[in-house]
């Protein structure tokens, strides 16, 4: 495989699907104009409601919806592969959604779906989150073959569970669209992203939400691309924007040849 440019998009999404699509459209166009062939969006890019259950009102079906239509159109019109962060999708349970990552090829065809397996829960003082109250956990890991190698899919809180990534391996690249809270992100985000890159000897693209949202939630941001040695190649601390990095498969091959940890696995 030849080197290629990848882009990780950072957003500060709001309760308007239409406004978020317009923001994502501009950022994907910026990434494509800068030469990106693979573009990844953050978790919840299409909707960040004021309440946890607001997402039920904008869930999309397998038949489509505005977020899916945008992803397909943007991939096709810009000729890029898009890892579509996550959007709320119907899951067969009336009062819940799936937190779903969809992947589109450069012709606008959907080629993969992953439903978030690990659901975030956190309680400290008045800061409380319980994703399981409105989201149905996925059951199957997912990876997809692309011109850029095999990409392992994950979403946000999945980052804390290394066994998920081991089950996907070997992969060439991992994507972790996220909306880490400021509290947990400031403590753990970079450490976890770099750890997943190092232990899997894989490139990691980690697009994030980064800023203060209309619902009052503050997300950590620090969208980054990390190489298989664990080096942060590009990063954006806060606010909307595009993080670009040139991915060199030959560098990954060199790292894996010099440190064949994947071949040394016993358990």
Reported as a single tens digit per residue, the pLDDT across 199-221 is: 999 999 999 999 999 989 999 99
Catalytic residue, candidates 60, 96, 116, 238: 116
Residue 50 has pLDDT above 90, yes or no: no
Reported as a single tens digit per residue, the pLDDT across 160-202 is: 999 999 999 899 999 999 999 999 999 999 999 999 999 999 9
Catalytic residue, candidates 60, 90, 156, 235: 156
Residue 45 phi, psi (nearest 5): -60, -30
- The pLDDT assigned to 257 comes to 98
Active site (annotated) includes residue 43: yes
- The pLDDT assigned to 1 comes to 84
Reported as a single tens digit per residue, the pLDDT across 91-125 is: 999 999 999 999 999 999 999 999 999 999 999 99
For Cα atoms 131, 57, 116, give the angle at the middle one, nearest 5 degrees.
Answer: 35
Active site (annotated) includes residue 62: no
pTM beyond 0.95, yes or no: yes
Q: Say yes or no: domain 4-258 is CATH 3.60.110.10.
A: yes
Catalytic residue, candidates 43, 60, 235, 238: 43
- The pLDDT assigned to 52 comes to 83
Distance, in Å, from the CA atom of 190 to the CA atom of 174, rounded to the nearest integer, reads 15
Percent of the chain with pLDDT over 70: 100
Distance, in Å, from the CA atom of 131 to the CA atom of 118, rounded to the nearest integer, reads 9
Active site (annotated) includes residue 55: no
Q: Where are the domains of the chain?
A: 4-258
């Amino acid at each position: 495989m030849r080197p290629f440019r990848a882009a990780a998009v950072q957003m500060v999404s709001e309760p308007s699907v239409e406004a978020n699509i317009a923001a994502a459209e501009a950022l994907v166009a910026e990434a494509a104009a800068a030469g990106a062939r693979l573009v990844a969006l953050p978790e919840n890019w299409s909707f960040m409601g004021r309440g946890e259950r607001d997402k039920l009102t904008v869930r999309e079906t397998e038949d489509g919806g505005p977020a899916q239509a945008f992803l397909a159109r943007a991939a096709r019109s810009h000729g890029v592969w898009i890892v579509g962060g996550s959007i709320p999708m119907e899951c067969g349970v009336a009062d819940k959604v799936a937190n779903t990552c969809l992947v589109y090829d450069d012709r606008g065809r959907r080629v993969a779906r992953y439903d978030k397996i690990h659901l975030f829960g956190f309680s400290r003082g008045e800061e409380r989150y319980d994703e399981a109250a409105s989201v149905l956990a996925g059951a199957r890991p997912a990876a997809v073959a692309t011109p850029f190698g095999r990409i392992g899919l994950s979403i946000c809180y999945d980052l804390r569970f290394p066994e998920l990534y081991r089950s996907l391996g070997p992969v060439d690249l991992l994507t972790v669209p996220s909306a880490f809270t400021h509290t947990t992100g400031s403590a753990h985000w970079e450490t976890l992203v770099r750890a997943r890159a190092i232990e899997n000897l894989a490139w990691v693209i980690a697009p994030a939400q980064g800023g203060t949202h209309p619902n009052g939630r503050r997300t950590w941001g620090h969208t980054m691309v990390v190489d298989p040695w664990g080096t942060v190649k590009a990063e954006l601390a806060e606010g909307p924007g595009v993080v670009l990095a040139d991915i060199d498969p030959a560098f990954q091959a060199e790292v894996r040849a010099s440190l064949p940890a994947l071949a040394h696995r016993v358990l």
